[in-house]
C-alpha cells in the first residue's frame, strides 16, 4: 500500500504587462491564443487541448515530455468575470498518477501603460510528490511566454 500524504503551499505571482487589459485577459480566454503560450517547454508534444472559458466551463491539456511522460491538466472554471478575474480548480497528473490539486485565482487591473495580473494558487501536492519548486518554475516560464505573446504586437486584434 502506498503511503498517503498532503503537502500544502500557496504560490503568488504578480506580473505587469505592457499590453491592454483585454488583450491579457483574452490570452487566457480564447482557446487559440491560450494554446500558443500555455506551455512550459517548447519541445514537448501536444496530445490534447480543449478550453471552454466560462463559469462552469472546463479545460484540459495533455502533453508528452521528451522522455514520454504524459503531463495532464484538467480544470473547471468556478467564476469568470470578464476583464476582472477568474477562479478555477484543477488537478495535475503525471501519466496515471495525480500529483496535485489546486484552486487558483487570476485577477487583472489596468495600470498606466498596461495591465497588472495577480495569480494566486493554493496547491496540495499528493502522496509524497516532491515538487522541489518545479510548479513555481513552470508557472513562471508560462507567464514569460504570456508576456511574449501579449506584448508581441500592439496592432494585433484581440
pLDDT digits (tens, 9 = 90+) for 10-58: 999 999 999 999 999 999 999 999 998 986 666 778 889 999 999 999 9
Domain ranges of the chain: 6-42+81-148
Q: Is the CB of residue 13 less than 8 Å from the CB of residue 119?
A: yes
Domain spanning 6-42+81-148 has what CATH number?
Answer: 3.30.530.20
Over residues 131-149, mean pLDDT: 91
| Beta strands, E only, the chain | 6-17, 45-51, 58-64, 70-81, 85-94, 97-111, 114-126
What is the rounded CA–CA span in Å between residue 103 and residue 88?
A: 6
What is the rounded CA–CA span in Å between residue 120 and residue 65?
A: 26
What is the rounded CA–CA span in Å between residue 100 and residue 77?
A: 17
- pTM (two decimals): 0.90
29: helix, strand or coil: helix
pLDDT of amino acid 158: 47
Amino acid at each position: 500500500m502506498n503511503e498517503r500524504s498532503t503537502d500544502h503551499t500557496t504560490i503568488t505571482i504578480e506580473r505587469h504587462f505592457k499590453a491592454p487589459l483585454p488583450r491579457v485577459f483574452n490570452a487566457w480566454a480564447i482557446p487559440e491564443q491560450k494554446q500558443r503560450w500555455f506551455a512550459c517547454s517548447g519541445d514537448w508534444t501536444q496530445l490534447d487541448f480543449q478550453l471552454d472559458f466560462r463559469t462552469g466551463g472546463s479545460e484540459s491539456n495533455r502533453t508528452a515530455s521528451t522522455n514520454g511522460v504524459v503531463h495532464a491538466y484538467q480544470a473547471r472554471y468556478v467564476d469568470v468575470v470578464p476583464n476582472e478575474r477568474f477562479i478555477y480548480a484543477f488537478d495535475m497528473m503525471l501519466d496515471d498518477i495525480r500529483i496535485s490539486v489546486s484552486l487558483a485565482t487570476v485577477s487583472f487591473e489596468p495600470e498606466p501603460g498596461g495591465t497588472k495580473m495577480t495569480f494566486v494558487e493554493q496547491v496540495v501536492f499528493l502522496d509524497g510528490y516532491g515538487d522541489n519548486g518545479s510548479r513555481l518554475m513552470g508557472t513562471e516560464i508560462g507567464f514569460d511566454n504570456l508576456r511574449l505573446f501579449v506584448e508581441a504586437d500592439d496592432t494585433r486584434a484581440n
